[in-house]
Structure 1
């Protein structure tokens, strides 16, 4: 069953760290079956607090999503995202 990684960037605190994240994060997709469903496009918040942007990545299943997230390449990129922003990230099964 398709699984999704959802990232909601609440606030950027260090643009330089986020620039490093944007450089390194695409490299972490290599070797993983991942596709972008939504990627920081226009948004219209209907409920809840405003946020800067969101990305939704699709994977074949939860194991594949977790393998990408736990991969050494993404862990390197993640350090920069965490240093440069306040972001919520979660995995969710599709239907």
Structure 2
């Protein structure tokens, strides 16, 4: 099942360390099957607020996403980003190709009816 790394990055002032991080990042992802899905592309807010820039990486599985995050190659370059950019980063499982939301809806309906 695919997995994703989603970053909502804020306060990214230009800095040479950030450029180096971006240049080196693809080589850290490659051994784990990682690839860019979204990288600092403009986004359109439809509801609420969503400040900052979005970066989304895809991996074949959550295990590979975790292995990339914990890898010596990534840990070596992570400070180049974290010392200059604030924001949150999550790792999250995707859903199977045949996923349908009916089970989630049923669980919500059951919880709502139990009150």
- Give TM-score scaled by structure 1 length: 0.86
Q: Which has the higher contact order (CA 8 A, sep 6+)?
A: 1
CA shift for structure 1 position 14: 5.9
Q: Hey, what does 2:49 align to over in structure 1?
A: 48
Structure 2, unaligned stretches of length 5 or more?
96-115
- The 4+ residue runs of structure 1 with deviation greater than 6 A are none
**Alignment partners' CA distance in 2, 1:93 and 1:12:** 27
Q: Residues 14 and 40 from structure 1, CA distance in 2 versus in 1: closer, same or farther, beyond 3 angstroms?
A: closer
What is the DSSP-based 3-state SS (H/G/I as helix, E as strand, rest coil) of the residue aligned with 2:32? coil
Indicate the structure with greater strand content.
1
Residue 93 (1) aligns with residue 93 (2): yes
- Give TM-score scaled by structure 2 length: 0.73
Residue 3 (1) aligns with residue 3 (2): yes
Counting matched residue pairs gives: 94
Q: Hey, what does 2:12 align to over in structure 1?
A: 12
Q: Residues 49 and 56 from structure 1, CA distance in 2 versus in 1: closer, same or farther, beyond 3 angstroms?
A: closer
Q: Residues 83 and 71 from structure 1, CA distance in 2 versus in 1: closer, same or farther, beyond 3 angstroms?
A: same
**Alignment partners' CA distance in 2, 1:88 and 1:20:** 20
21-30 vs 83-92, greater mean Cα deviation: 21-30
Larger radius of gyration: 2
CA shift for structure 1 position 13: 4.7
1:14 touches 1:85 (CA, 8 Å); kept in 2?
Answer: no
CA shift for structure 1 position 89: 0.6
Q: Say what the alpha-carbon RMSD is for the aligned residues.
A: 1.5
